[in-house]
Amino acid sequence: ELPCHARPPRATRPTPSCWALRFDGGSKDAVPQVNNPKTGHSRNRRLRKWQPGQLDMHHMYVGSSVSTFVILPDSTTILIDAGDLNATRFTQSRLARQIEAIDVFPNDSFTPAGWIVQYLLDFAPASAHRRQPKRKAHQHQLLHIDYLIITHFHADHVGEPEARSKKSPSGTYTLAGVPEVAQHVSFGTLIDRGYPLYDYPKLLRTGGDSTFENYVRWLDQAVREGMHAQRFEVGRDDQITMRHKPSAFPGFRVRNIKRDMSFSRATPDDRSVHTIPGSVLDADREFNENFVSLGMVMHYGDFAYYEGGDQDSRKVNGLLIDTVTPVASAAGRVDVATLNHHGHGMNAALMRDMDPRVMVVQGWAGDHVPTSSMQVIAETTSEQQPRDIFATHIHEKRLRELGQLANLFTSTAGHVVVRVYPPGSQPSDPKVTATQPYEVFVLDANRKVVESRAYTATHKLDA
């Protein structure tokens, strides 16, 4: 057995003891007291641990993968997606267009899923660390996360089986992406767009897609072993809730605004559900999973955050299918938005209706972000209407291709953490006079702060 400090090849999985010891997270005394002791940070220092009342969104940079870890004000935890795309296959399939995908970050000591687990071990609140799992099937799981939310079933969001991937202990599925993370992390409730039937826009369980089939084999076994699973319900704001002390933070809620081709504002005075026109099925009855991604908005006091998976706008059978515009209208104004489809799912309506002050790009391919999207952002950015773009990864070649548009990025590599402080907090930046500040941090490969900026939450929902 290799020691914990060894660097095994990609297909090798560390033992549970290695996972537990690789990062201990440090102590709070190791963090310097600078600026406001509640919010201040300096460069090359550890990000302060989450504190009750804070809302944290960690956009992880681990390779050709999309994954976001969320800690709610009462310590309820959410993992949104946990992908692992075969970067070699992707790059070879796009040689003609010279589009590359990054394999794994920071190195191949672990797979992208493995690095997700490392990150969770480092930043999960104390309440998420498991002491003694109740079920034998969970004996190797070191963390418990309250929710796992899957926006859609593409490999960079759920994991792609590869020839070098290991089989599960039961032999029924392959350890890649979500199933691999689940070897070390238990989940209370899974929410995705189709459970249990998976029949939109056609039957998926018999569709022959190896990525989805591997995911659902893992899911079926996890449900048998005690995990709950639900279909994401459009129009609700009470499906994803705080699990531990909800009454202590009444200003938090999650609006379910989009699933498949249905959308809703999901507000108390408007829960009506509408259908986006057009069929996503092409002439061969195939479809692009991006169109049917989930969409949600998290609210905390005056702060609003949008997550929409890979919403897109493109032609199918010669007709435009646009999920970006109706979802932007349903979302309304937000402070922070993850950009749809790694920046591809952008248009003027999104910038007008959502008006994000901060945008997060979860990038991993050489065409993230396209020039057309950057132009849309540039046209709506000015000194009077500033915007900051934080990207987990943008290829250097892409930056050169963007030319002056590349100057719109605030950062182009690293984990991106959005931390929202409770209403009434004082910001660390004396120039910001806020009733509810939030900050954005960029973390390097060692998860140390290399950039931070302070903002004021302004987009409280008027309903």
pLDDT tens string 22-41: 233 332 322 222 233 334 45
- Give the whole-angstrom CA distance, residue 347 versus residue 360: 16
Neighbours of 49 (CB within 10 A): 18
Express each pLDDT in 416-428 by its tens digit.
Answer: 999 999 987 765 5
In this structure, the strands spanning 77-80 and 68-71 are antiparallel
pTM above 0.85, yes or no: yes
Q: Which residue has the tokens 């599925």?
A: 173
| Cβ 377 vs Cβ 384: under 8 Å | no
Closest CA to 145 of 172, 167, 114, 178: 178
Length of the chain: 463
pLDDT along the chain (463 residues), means of 10: 31 33 29 32 80 97 97 98 93 82 91 96 92 59 95 97 91 97 96 97 92 97 96 98 94 97 95 96 92 98 97 93 98 97 96 97 96 96 93 96 97 97 70 77 96 88 54
- Give the whole-angstrom CA distance, residue 426 versus residue 242: 24
- Give the whole-angstrom CA distance, residue 281 versus residue 333: 31
Q: Which residue has the tokens 């190791």?
A: 30
| Cβ 427 vs Cβ 39: under 8 Å | yes
Closest CA to 368 of 348, 338, 388: 338
Which residue pairs from 50-56 have beta carbons closer than 8 angstroms and sit at least 24 positions apart in sequence?
50/75, 50/123, 50/125, 52/248, 53/249, 53/421, 53/422, 54/419, 54/420, 54/421, 54/422, 55/252, 55/298, 55/300, 55/303, 55/419, 55/420, 56/123, 56/417, 56/418, 56/419, 56/420
| Cβ 46 vs Cβ 26: under 8 Å | yes
Per-residue pLDDT at 354? 96
Domains and CATH numbers, the chain: 51-131+138-456 (3.60.15.10)
- Give the whole-angstrom CA distance, residue 443 versus residue 437: 20
- Give the whole-angstrom CA distance, residue 297 versus residue 335: 11
What distance separates the 2 farthest-apart alpha carbons in the chain? Answer: 62
Structure token digits, residue 87: 């970067």
Per-residue pLDDT at 433? 54
Per-residue pLDDT at 460? 65
**With the CA atoms of 413, 356, 351 and 316 taken in that order, what torsion angle do they form, in degrees rounded to the nearest 10?**
60
With residue 191 as reference, give the H or E element that holds it.
Answer: strand 185-192
Per-residue pLDDT at 75? 97
Q: Which residue has the tokens 């490999």?
A: 155
